[in-house]
Structure formats: structure tokens, C-alpha cells
């Protein structure tokens, strides 16, 4: 049996899928508890007596990452924990307060979602289960209030449901009942589902997206992450089925269903939440699950604030990653040495964890739990090179491991500490410097370096890779380029993160240019991608120069065809960081356009719009646009062309 969904409503509810395709629902009585430590228990004897008589609190010894702790186990919920904090003047230290009871139960019982009893959680091989999967596509714009009159359902065949809204929704309900899917892939489901459920109820129709008829609710929120405002839409989570908003879910877009199932297996969360949470939340959930499995209590509020330090010491410690600026230009026969998951590898290799700062001889919690995840990432990356079906599994591991470093510096991280964060970046800087020195000692010409990658010219690159791994003790991958272009910034110096090049495998690696940017209009992106497809065929500088005229013709065709382009193909999609702006800009106009259309906007939301007049930044929402500013989009085409023409000019020299 596979656990496909869990939740907690006074009891733990578990939904399981058998190999014969049948679904079983069971409930398990479970009362979560938390741990309490008081520096001076006699001073709070009345509180302790009340906890013992009312809730059955008992003395116990529990483990933290810093060692054993004598305290109390209290079988009660969060409200009681908060009351204890207030009554003790926040002298009490609390553990295991803000945990998901279903995850807590699974960890205590050794149960794992999306994993057979005999399988390893850390295996990249997912068994083939008889998932019944459907895709639901609703025609129309979810922000408009028009009736739902057309739905496409994809399963073993395509079915089109059309007619008046009550008829269409009744047909959808009947189809879901007949197919009884385990997985529902539904673009914009977080926006559509509340609307169609409400419409169905008014007409006496039961839409059985939830096997129990009940839904858990995730509230919408805006939050700050990695220097930008993000937004998570509110969601209705059904019981017993995996429902994925394929448009909103970052992890589905990056890793597909296989990545989400593996993420659930690793974190102890249901796939419904794995699909909706950020990578940072997933790595946090994984650490919590591992701590529970190991019998380590999770602190409710951190009690290890950053120590007071001299400014010169702080400046020396907190310097971020190392980078070497490239000289803009075209280079042939280049090798890229890339450290696999560098920051988590440093955590494991150098045993970095909050409790090991004072006790470096002690095996740290973070290295202990990240080690199997790193091993799994290395295996999935190796398998992906031979079998593209492992790309999704590798992608979710990549993003979880990327965020585990940032999580060590997050102020509310359960197992983070800023000094650990700084030690990681210190080691990373030393490693990149050591790598550069190794390359130069072996006669290589260093072209560029950025945190965990180094680009060099010289041969044999395999010998350099071996030498770097011997010196650093870290795993690397090697990419060989026939040619690569490092683009210039506006001041002429090489850009750190804008380059593209042809790998020896014949593939093209592209970073930072308009074809990769999320806010590039489709028309502009397609032009640049067509140019890159032509350039991809060139193996040498000479061949690249010879394809110049063919690429220029694509630019001329795009410019001449622009007046006839559809406005929707020129839509710009950007996240808005705020709702009020002090100056005129397209984002401010897009927010105003949403307000005029009756659409509520929150910071971090992505809005699609078409620029209709760049002089005053007038815009129309992408699905309503009927015209566009020809001059503005000509300039965007020219900008995309400049990124390509630089390479052609360099090749012709």
C-alpha cells in the first residue's frame, strides 16, 4: 500500500493506494504532545501542578540537537503552549509545538508517504503504481465571472464537455465518479476550484474532487524570499486525491509528478502539500521529519541569537560567495567545472551545524540528515545523464539542497544559525580559490568563476577534474564547450550571469539572456530561440561566423512581422512587489488595470500585461489587449538581437 494523503482532524486520517488500484481510508487515534523545559521548575510549581492534573503532563528526559534535557511532556496543543509562554514570562523553552500532527505520527510509526514498505526513501527509483490520472482544462479566464461552459478532460482519451454551466459541471462530476482518479492535474485549480464548487452547490451538484467531500484550506499569503516578494495563492486541498495546480506549482513545473512524489517521500508530507510548498519549506519539513524519526525535539522558538561581534570581525565573516569576472568575448574549447550541490556538500564535509560550532568533534545534525540527500542527488544526476526520465527527481533534489544553505541563515530556522551560514560561505570562497590555483598550476587559463563553477581553457580537463576532487574532497561534474560567449554589461565589462554556449554533446547551455527570462514576451523569446537553434549547429568559431547572415535574416523577419503579431504573443509577465508605486511604471499601470477589471491583487502576484503606450506606461491586461506599442516591442527585439549579434561579431573577428 502507498500512502497518498494524510491529514489530522482530532485523529490522523490516512489514504492508501493498493497495487490493485483500490483506495483505503483509515483513521488512527492520536494526541500530539510537546516538551517543556523550565530553568527553575520550583518557581512555577503551580503551573506544573495544573498541567499535570488537567493534561496529564509528566516529567521526562528528551533530546535536543545540543544534548539531553530534563523537562516535561505535555499532551496538549499550541494554545496551551502559548499560555505557558505568557505565564512564565517567556522563560519556558518549548519543543515540538508547531508540528503537523500527521507528519509527527508518520515519523513516530516509521511510515513514509509514496513509498512501499520495503523500499528505501532515498532511492531514485519510484515503483510503477496504477495511478489513474486525469487532466482538467477549463476554457476561459479564471479572473472573469463568465459561466463555465467548456471543459476538456484528458485521461485515456480526450473528452469535451460543453453546454450550459450546470450541464457541464454535472457531466464533470459524473466523469470524475466514473474514472475515480488518484491524481488530478488542473491548471489554475487554486483559482478555479472554489468558483466551480460554489457554482455546483447552487445547482445541487456534488463535484467529487475530494473523496470525503471535505477540503483543507491553505490561506493565501505574500512573503519575502531571496530579495523579492513572493505570493502563494489560497488553495482547497481535497481528501484522498492528489490535486496539482500545474500552473501555480513551481515544483510541478520544474520536476513533474515524479519529483513531487519523491518530495513527499523524503519530507513526510502529502503530495498535495509538496506540490504547493516552497523548496525552503520542503527542506525544513525534511529536517523536522528526520529529527522526529531520530527522537530529537524541535525548538518552538530559537533561543540562540547571533552573538555580539566587532564590526571588523562581522565584515570579515559575512562576505558571501566568491566570483571572478570574465572578459566579455567568444572562447573556444572551454571546460566548466561545477561542484555538485556545493553548499550542502560543505555542510557535510566540514560537519557544520549549530551544535558543532562549540563541539567540532561531535557529529552534527545537519550533516547527518543532508548526507543521504546528497548521495541521492549525485545518483539522480548521474542517472539523468543517461535517462532523461530522472530529470524531475533530480530537479526537486537540486532545489531542496539549494535552499538548505539559505535556511541555515534564516532567523526562524529550527536548525539554523547565522555563524553556520557564514562558515559555509567562507569554505566556499576558499574552495573556489583553491580550484583556481589548481587550474593555473596545471597550465589552464581561468576565464570565469562564480561561487560553485569555474570556466577554464586547456586540456586535459578530465585530469583537472580529478585533481580538484582530490584536493577539495568534493564531487564535481565536467562540461565541455565547443564555444561559449560571455556577454558584456553596459559598461563593457563581462557579465557574471549572462552567457550561452555549445556543449560538446551538441546541446546549447543558456543563462541570463532574454530567451531564459520569465518576463520576455513569447514573440521575442521565439525569435531568440530560433537564432540559437541556428547557432547551435556551429561547432567552431568559423562555422559560427558563417551562419551570421541566416541569423540576421531571422531578426529582419521578426521586425517586419511585428505589426501583425497578436497582442497576446507580446504579453509581459512580471511579479508585482507592491500595490502602490511612487513613479510611473508598467507594473503600476498593471495593478491599476487589475483593479479596474475587479481583480484583487496581492504583493508577489504575477500579472500579464501588454504595453500599449511606453511614453506614459499605459498597459492592458494580456487577455484583454487589442493593441500594443510597436516602438516599445521593436526595442525589445533589438535588445534580444544585441545579445545574439555580440557573439556573431566576436566570431567574425
Q: Let me know if residue 124 belongs to a domain.
A: yes
Backbone angles phi, psi at 634, to 5 degrees: -65, -40
Burial class (CB in 10 A: 0-12, 13-18, 19+), 389: exposed
As a whole number of angstroms, the distance between CA 620 and CA 596 comes to 11
| DSSP-derived secondary structure for 437-491 | HHHHHTT-EEEEEETTEEEEE-S-HHHHHHHHHHHH---EEEEEEEEEEEEE-TT
Whether 189 and 274 map to the same domain: the answer is yes
Domain that holds residue 238: 1-20+99-298
Whether 177 and 252 map to the same domain: the answer is yes
Q: Let me know if residue 526 belongs to a domain.
A: no
Whether 111 and 72 map to the same domain: the answer is no
Q: What is the pLDDT of residue 477?
A: 93
As a whole number of angstroms, the distance between CA 164 and CA 139 comes to 13
Residues in the chain where the model's pLDDT stays below 50: none
CB 36 within 8 A of CB 80: no
As a whole number of angstroms, the distance between CA 443 and CA 182 comes to 58
Q: What is the pLDDT of residue 111?
A: 93
CB 456 within 8 A of CB 439: yes
Q: Let me know if residue 369 belongs to a domain.
A: yes
Instruction: Name the domain count of the chain.
Output: 3
CB 334 within 8 A of CB 455: yes
Domain end: 266, 298, 330, which one? 298
Q: Let me know if residue 477 belongs to a domain.
A: yes
Whether 201 and 260 map to the same domain: the answer is yes
Report percent pLDDT > 70 for the chain: 96
Continuous H helices in 75-207: 78-87, 101-109, 165-179, 189-202
Q: Let me know if residue 633 belongs to a domain.
A: no
Whether 90 and 207 map to the same domain: the answer is no
Q: What is the pLDDT of residue 254?
A: 93
Domain end: 53, 74, 98, which one? 98
Q: Let me know if residue 625 belongs to a domain.
A: no
Long-range residue pairs from 576-582, CB within 8 A, at least 24 positions apart, any chain: 576/229, 576/601, 576/603, 576/604, 576/605, 576/606, 576/607, 577/228, 577/229, 577/603, 577/604, 578/229, 578/603, 579/603
Q: What is the pLDDT of residues 37-96, one digit of tens each?
A: 999 999 999 999 999 999 999 999 999 999 999 999 999 999 999 999 999 999 999 999
Whether 294 and 177 map to the same domain: the answer is yes
Quick one: which H or E segment has residue 225? strand 221-225
Query: What CATH number has the domain bearing residue 90?
Result: 3.30.70
Whether 333 and 473 map to the same domain: the answer is yes
Q: What is the pLDDT of residue 645?
A: 96
As a whole number of angstroms, the distance between CA 408 and CA 412 comes to 9
Whether 86 and 103 map to the same domain: the answer is no
Please give the distance of CA 263 from its chain centroid, rounded to a whole number: 11
Whether 172 and 240 map to the same domain: the answer is yes
As a whole number of angstroms, the distance between CA 632 and CA 320 comes to 37
Whether 124 and 260 map to the same domain: the answer is yes
Q: Is 324 helix (H, G, I), strand (E, B) or coil?
A: strand
Q: What is the pLDDT of residue 436?
A: 96
Grid cell, residue 143, equals: 479572473
Grid cell, residue 571, equals: 504579453
CB 12 within 8 A of CB 27: yes
As a whole number of angstroms, the distance between CA 357 and CA 362 comes to 9
CB 285 within 8 A of CB 392: no
Q: What is the pLDDT of residues 564-603, one digit of tens each?
A: 999 999 999 999 988 888 899 999 999 999 999 888 888 9
Q: Let me know if residue 201 belongs to a domain.
A: yes
Domain end: 475, 498, 521, which one? 498
Query: What CATH number has the domain bearing residue 152?
Result: 3.30.420
Q: What is the pLDDT of residue 459?
A: 86
Please give the distance of CA 552 from its chain centroid, rounded to a whole number: 37
Backbone angles phi, psi at 486, to 5 degrees: -100, 120
Q: Let me know if residue 286 belongs to a domain.
A: yes
Crossing angle of helices 45-55 and 78-87, in 10° steps, is: 160
Q: What is the pLDDT of residue 301?
A: 85
Whether 11 and 38 map to the same domain: the answer is no
Query: What CATH number has the domain bearing residue 367?
Result: 3.90.1600.10
Whether 339 and 437 map to the same domain: the answer is yes
Amino acid at each position: 500500500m502507498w500512502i497518498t494523503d494524510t491529514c489530522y482532524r482530532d485523529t490522523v486520517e490516512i489514504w492508501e493506494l493498493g497495487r490493485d488500484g483500490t483506495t483505503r481510508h483509515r483513521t488512527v487515534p492520536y494526541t500530539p504532545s510537546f516538551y517543556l523545559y523550565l530553568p527553575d521548575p520550583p518557581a512555577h510549581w503551580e503551573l506544573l501542578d495544573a498541567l499535570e492534573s488537567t493534561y496529564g503532563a509528566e516529567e521526562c528526559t528528551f533530546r535536543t540537537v545540543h544534548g539531553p534535557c530534563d523537562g516535561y511532556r505535555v499532551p496538549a496543543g499550541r494554545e496551551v503552549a502559548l499560555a505557558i509562554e505568557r505565564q512564565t514570562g517567556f522563560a519556558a523553552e518549548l519543543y515540538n509545538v508547531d508540528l503537523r500532527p500527521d507528519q509527527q505520527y508518520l515519523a513516530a510509526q516509521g511510515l513514509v508517504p509514496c513509498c512501499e514498505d520495503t523500499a528505501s526513501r532515498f532511492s531514485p527509483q519510484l515503483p510503477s503504481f496504477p495511478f489513474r490520472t486525469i487532466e482538467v482544462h477549463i476554457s476561459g479566464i479564471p479572473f472573469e465571472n463568465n459561466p463555465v461552459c467548456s471543459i476538456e478532460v484528458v485521461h485515456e482519451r480526450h473528452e469535451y464537455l460543453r453546454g450550459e454551466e450546470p450541464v457541464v459541471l454535472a457531466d464533470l462530476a459524473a466523469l470524475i465518479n466514473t474514472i475515480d482518479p488518484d491524481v488530478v492535474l488542473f491548471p489554475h485549480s487554486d483559482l478555479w476550484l472554489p468558483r466551480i464548487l460554489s457554482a455546483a452547490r447552487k445547482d445541487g451538484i456534488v463535484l467529487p474532487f475530494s473523496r470525503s467531500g471535505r477540503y483543507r484550506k491553505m490561506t493565501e499569503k505574500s512573503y519575502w524570499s531571496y530579495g523579492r516578494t513572493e505570493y502563494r495563492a489560497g488553495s482547497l486541498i481535497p481528501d484522498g486525491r492528489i490535486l496539482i495546480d500545474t500552473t501555480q506549482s513551481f515544483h510541478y513545473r520544474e520536476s513533474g509528478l515524479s519529483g513531487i512524489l519523491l518530495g513527499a517521500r523524503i519530507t513526510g508530507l502529502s503530495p498535495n502539500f509538496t506540490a504547493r510548498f516552497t523548496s525552503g519549506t520542503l527542506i525544513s519539513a525534511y529536517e523536522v521529519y528526520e529529527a522526529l524519526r531520530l527522537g530529537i525535539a524541535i525548538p518552538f522558538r530559537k533561543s540562540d541569537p547571533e552573538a555580539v561581534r566587532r564590526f571588523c570581525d562581522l565584515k570579515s565573516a559575512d562576505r558571501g560567495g566568491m566570483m571572478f569576472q570574465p572578459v566579455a568575448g567568444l572562447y573556444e574549447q572551454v571546460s566548466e567545472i561545477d561542484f555538485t550541490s556545493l553548499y550542502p556538500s560543505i555542510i557535510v564535509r566540514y560537519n557544520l551545524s549549530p551544535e558543532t560550532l562549540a563541539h567540532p568533534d561531535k557529529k552534527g545534525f545537519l550533516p547527518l540528515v543532508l548526507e543521504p540527500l546528497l548521495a541521492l542527488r549525485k545518483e539522480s544526476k548521474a542517472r539523468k545523464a543517461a535517462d532523461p526520465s530522472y530529470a524531475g527527481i533530480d530537479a526537486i533534489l537540486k532545489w531542496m539542497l539549494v535552499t538548505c544553505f539559505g535556511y541555515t541563515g534564516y532567523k526562524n530556522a529550527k536548525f539554523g544559525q547565522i555563524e553556520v551560514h557564514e562558515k559555509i560561505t567562507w569554505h566556499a570562497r576558499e574552495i573556489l580559490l583553491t580550484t583556481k590555483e589548481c587550474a593555473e598550476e596545471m597550465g589552464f587559463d581561468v576565464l570565469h568563476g562564480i561561487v560553485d563553477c569555474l570556466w577554464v581553457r586547456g586540456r586535459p580537463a578530465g585530469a583537472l577534474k580529478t585533481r580538484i576532487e582530490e584536493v577539495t574532497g568534493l564531487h564535481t561534474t565536467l562540461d565541455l564547450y565547443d564555444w561559449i560567449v560571455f556577454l558584456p554589461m553596459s559598461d563593457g565589462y563581462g557579465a557574471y550571469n549572462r552567457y550561452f554556449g555549445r556543449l560538446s554533446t551538441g546541446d546549447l547551455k543558456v543563462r541570463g539572456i532574454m530567451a531564459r527570462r520569465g518576463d520576455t514576451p513569447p514573440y521575442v523569446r521565439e525569435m531568440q530561440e530560433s537564432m540559437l537553434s541556428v547557432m547551435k549547429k556551429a561547432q567552431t568559431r568559423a562555422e559560427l561566423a558563417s551562419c551570421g547572415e541566416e541569423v540576421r535574416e531571422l531578426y529582419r523577419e521578426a521586425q517586419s512581422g511585428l505589426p501583425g503579431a497578436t497582442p497576446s504573443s507580446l504579453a509581459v509577465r512580471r511579479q508585482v512587489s507592491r500595490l502602490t508605486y511612487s513613479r510611473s511604471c508598467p507594473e503600476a499601470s498593471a495593478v491599476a488595470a487589475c483593479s479596474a477589471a475587479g481583480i484583487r491583487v496581492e504583493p508577489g502576484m504575477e500579472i500579464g500585461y501588454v504595453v500599449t503606450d511606453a511614453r506614459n506606461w499605459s498597459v492592458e491586461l494580456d487577455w484583454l489587449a487589442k493593441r500594443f506599442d510597436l516602438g516599445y516591442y521593436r526595442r525589445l527585439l533589438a535588445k534580444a538581437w544585441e545579445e545574439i549579434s555580440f557573439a556573431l561579431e566576436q566570431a567574425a573577428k
